[in-house]
Chain A
Amino acid sequence: MDTHLAISGVGKTFGTHTVLAGIDLSVEKGEFVTLLGPSGCGKSTLLRIVAGLETPDAGALSIAARDVSRLPPEARNVALMFQSYALLPHMSVLENVRFPLRMQNRYPKPEQIERAAAALDLVQLVDLNDRFPRQLSGGQQQRVALARAIVAEPDVLLLDEPLSNLDAKLREAMQLELKSLHRQLGLTTVLVTHDQTEALALADTVVLMNDGRIVRQGSPRDVYARPDSVFAADFIGGANVLDLVVTRTGGGWQARMPDGTIVALAPDPRLGEGPMKFMLRKEAIRLAPEGGDVGGDAVAIDAIVETQNYLGGSTRLALRAGGLSLIALVETGPDAEAADAAVRIAWNAADLVPLPGDV
């Protein structure tokens, strides 16, 4: 356990509005953490606090076992890539990337230039060293900003919504590149995003925030499979939330849907008798042909299709089943096309996940 960045008890208030409260987070050396959450949840503020651009009202910060809480930004060895890129318009691309090395005065000038050029190479920006920011496309500017952030080998690399200004295709490509870059350089990284697919794709650890607090923290798979709260289930991946009543049955558990339909539940230590919320991912629901075998662990019930949206590879169905409204994302194929008023749907019992947390 090599804690590289330790955030303890950090809080921040703007006027009467509490933006962050009681934030505790430790990041290991070389770990890639994404701060994920809706607008206003405090993720950018937390990032800026780590950078030294905001002063916390409570709590402490340490980087590489050194207390940096009272250090100005230039004294912490962190790099921040701004959402607006903040490229210096009066300097060339190479000069922009060289700037952190100049300020830190660590190497002689020729070596600074070499290192800057190498960083630009790493982000796959060729032959643009002498251009100026205004002559570059958005995607190119973003790479320059990235090169500038990694060139000085910071203790912590901070990225503030680095891909949000790019179009969808470019964003996808950059996600792969960022992941590859992280593997190559092994920098401790904190990335802020409101895009949950981005968070899942890049992170070693996803930190989900809401209303100034950390709501769920864990590996992407863990957080996706067990969101533990309605908010997390909805924010990450979007899901059906079912209000069911749990009852014991012989050796196991089952749940009763509003119209009385009984469905089996997979064993889970969090189950208890009484009303409970459950998550069912849209892609977990599949169409089961009438009378067909659905498989051992599966649950099958009757449903009525209310609307269909053809999405290409998949089809979205709005269903009514068990007295509830459900949304399913099924593969487009002969079964989907045949769907009309009455169908039979199925899911694996383990896909009906309890949500014990509130909200």
Chain B
Amino acid sequence: MVGAAPRWMAPVALAFVAAIAFFMLVPLAVVVASSLSSSEFLVFPPRGFSLRWYGAVLQSDAYLAAAWTSIRLAVLTVVISLTLGTMAAIALTRFAIPGREAIASLFLSPLILPSLIFAIGLLMVFSIYGDGPSFTGLVIGHVVITIPYVVRTVSASLVDMDPNLDEAARMMGANWWQRYGLVILPQCRAGMAAGAFFAFNISFDDAVVALFMRAPSVETLPMRIYSTLEFSPNPSVAAVSTIMIGLTIVLVIALDRAFGLGKIM
């Protein structure tokens, strides 16, 4: 278009976008910068350059335990959520179940509820009927908040699948577990991978459910960071955070390499 936008719009738009980009990314950048500071206090600009905080983190029992808890938790969450969610997605997209729409909404309903409210409810249930918050309770909580993502991504994959594939397999004599194992599930690979990615990420990063289901022996990495920030902030927090950011980026890149982000997002 001739004169699509006024001349002065280009530099203004550029400045605006740059400002927003800065605003969005500066908290993360600051965290990374602080992790390399040699001083004991969280100030800006960070004084000196040192990797000592990474060393401190890697040697800290508390952080390592929290990391291990987080990883165990996330992996369990992914496995259970993926299983239940994939089964539900297959049932919802391939079979005409009465009340299908309503059931589909049910599976997506945890998305509507802020995790805060759910976490409180979960805590109350475990306290009244059980011994209070526990690792199991945390797993259950995380599975609930991640199932909708798995159902959504796997359903999307299934909906895109060519319906003729299954029929062709049937005509070639495959029985039901061969069809699912060799034809249908492989088609949902991208959807399952995306669902697993979301489930892992959400579980690993979650602070709210972990906070309410916090028990002495159960502390996740975000919880550790939160506690440290509440009471005695120091740059080791920044180091842990930077490691977590790095892990996220690695996961995203791995997912992109394996499946191509464009196809999933």
Give the segment of B1-9, B32-40, B173-181 that binds chain A.
B1-9
Judge whether A181 is part of the interface by a CB distance below 8 angstroms: no
Binary interface profile of A, 48-64, with partner B (CB < 8 Å = 1, else 0)?
A: 00001111000000000
| Residues of A close to B1: CB separation below 8 A | 52-55, 72-73
Beta-carbon nearest neighbor of B4 in chain A: A72
A55 and B5 CA atoms in complex are apart in Å by: 13
Give every chain B residue within 8 A of A54 (Cβ-Cβ): 1-2
Is the C-beta of A109 less than 8 angstroms from some C-beta in chain B?
Answer: no
Q: Once the chains are docked, how many angstroms separate the CA of A70 from the CA of B1? A: 10
How far, in angstroms, from A54 to B2 measured CA to CA in the complex? 6
Residues of B within 8 A of A53 (CB): 1-2
Residues of A within 8 A of B3 (CB): 52, 70-73, 75
List residues of chain A with CB within 8 A of the CB of B4: 72
Contacts of A52 in B (CB 8 A): 1-3
Choose among B1, B2, B3, B4 the residue with the greatest number of A CB atoms under 10 Å from its CB: B2
Look across to chain B and name the residue whose beta carbon is closest to the beta carbon of A56: B2
CB of B95 to closest CB in A, whole Å: 35
The answer for the CA separation of A73 and B5 in the assembled complex, in Å, is 11
Within 8 A of A (CB), among B171-229: none
Interface bits A28-67 vs B (CB < 8 Å: 1, else 0): 0000000000000000000000001111000000000000
User: Distance (Å) between the CB of A322 and the closest chain B CB?
Assistant: 54
Residue-by-residue, is B1-45 near A (CB-CB < 8 Å gives 1, otherwise 0)?
A: 111100000000000000000000000000000000000000000
Q: How far is the CA of A53 from the CA of B2 in the complex (A)?
A: 6
Could you tell me the distance in whole angstroms from the C-beta of A331 to the nearest C-beta in chain B? Answer: 50
A47 CB to nearest chain B CB (Å): 14
Complex Cα–Cα for A55 and B3 (A): 9
Residue of A nearest to B3 (CB): A72
Interface residues of A in 60-100 (CB under 8 A from B): 69-73, 75
Nearest CB in chain B to that of A55: its residue: B2
Give min CB distance, A279 to chain B, whole Å. 41
CA distance in complex: A230, B71 (Å): 74
**10 A-B residue pairings within 8 Å (CB atoms):** A53-B1, A69-B2, A70-B2, A70-B3, A71-B3, A72-B2, A72-B3, A73-B2, A73-B3, A75-B3
* B→A interface (CB under 8 Å): 1-4
Name 6 extra pairs, CB < 8 A, besides A54-B1, A55-B2: A55-B1, A69-B2, A71-B3, A72-B2, A73-B1, A73-B2
Question: Across chains A and B, which 6 residue pairs bring their CB atoms closest together, nearest first?
Answer: A72-B3, A52-B2, A55-B2, A53-B1, A72-B2, A73-B1
